[in-house]
């Protein structure tokens, strides 16, 4: 059985992962409307991934005798200055998610819940990858600057990257 304290904390994490999914969906929609199809594809894929992170938490809570709760998500912003702003938000948001995961791990140690501690290690690894990916994208955008040709190539590359993201936080969460 899961303790009510851990259950509540994991349900808060469901809220955060679900909100991330909605946020990336809003960003993807903005990018698509602006003609950045590659960026949109990348963000839609990322949104699906965050939803999968959320589902994983639901199943874990329910399997341990708790109850995964669907929260009311706050509406994310729909307008962005540019692609760069989007990825800066993605990066700082992933840092926030990482901090929350780390706080959960800390709580598990305090509560001596080693089963949940073990379960959360997957998220710890995942967050390292997601933060690093967001940083790499920002580095690329810094190199491009205001160059329209560079932006065109960046958009195209980001679209192709989504397809074969196997080792980079893509796909490897399914079926757990």
Judge whether 106 is annotated as a binding position. Answer: no
Please count the helices (runs of H) and the strands (runs of E) in the chain.
5, 0
Print burial letters for 130-161: b (CB count within 10 Å at least 16), e (below 16).
bbebbeebeeebeebeeeeeebeebbeebbeb
Domains of the chain by residue range: 4-163
Q: Residue-wise pLDDT tens for the chain (176 aa)? A: 999 999 999 999 999 999 999 999 999 999 999 999 999 999 999 999 999 999 999 999 999 999 999 999 889 999 999 999 999 999 999 999 999 999 999 999 999 999 999 999 999 999 999 999 999 999 999 999 989 999 999 999 998 876 544 444 443 333 33
Q: Which of 66, 67, 35 is nearest to 151 (CA)?
A: 35
Judge whether 94 is annotated as a binding position. Answer: yes
Residue 12 to residues 19, 104, 159, Cα–Cα distance (Å): 11, 10, 32
Q: How far is residue 3's CA from residue 127's CA, in Å, rounded to a whole number? A: 25
CATH topology of domain 4-163: Ferritin (1.20.1260)
Judge whether 127 is annotated as a binding position. Answer: yes
Q: Which long-range contacts (CB under 8 A, 24 or more apart) does 65-69 make?
A: 65/1, 65/2, 66/2, 66/6, 66/7, 66/10, 67/7, 68/10, 68/11, 68/14, 69/11, 69/14
pTM: 0.89
Which region holds residue 99: left if phi is over 0, alpha if psi is between -120 and 50, else beta?
alpha
């Amino acid at each position: 059985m899961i303790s009510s304290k851990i259950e509540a904390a994991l349900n808060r994490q469901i809220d955060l992962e679900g909100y991330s999914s909605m946020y990336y969906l809003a960003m993807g929609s903005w990018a698509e409307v602006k003609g950045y199809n590659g960026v949109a594809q990348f963000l839609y894929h990322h949104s699906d991934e965050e939803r999968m992170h959320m589902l994983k938490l639901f199943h874990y809570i329910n399997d341990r005798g708790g109850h995964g709760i669907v929260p009311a998500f706050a509406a994310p912003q729909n307008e962005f200055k540019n692609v760069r702003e989007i990825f800066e938000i993605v990066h700082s948001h992933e840092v926030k998610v990482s901090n929350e995961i780390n706080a959960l791990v800390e709580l598990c140690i305090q509560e001596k819940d080693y089963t949940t501690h073990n379960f959360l290690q997957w998220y710890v690894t995942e967050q390292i990858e997601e933060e690093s990916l967001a940083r790499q994208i920002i580095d690329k955008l810094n190199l491009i600057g205001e160059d329209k040709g560079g932006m065109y190539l960046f958009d195209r590359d980001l679209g192709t990257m989504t397809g074969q993201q196997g080792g980079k936080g893509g796909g490897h969460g399914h079926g757990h």
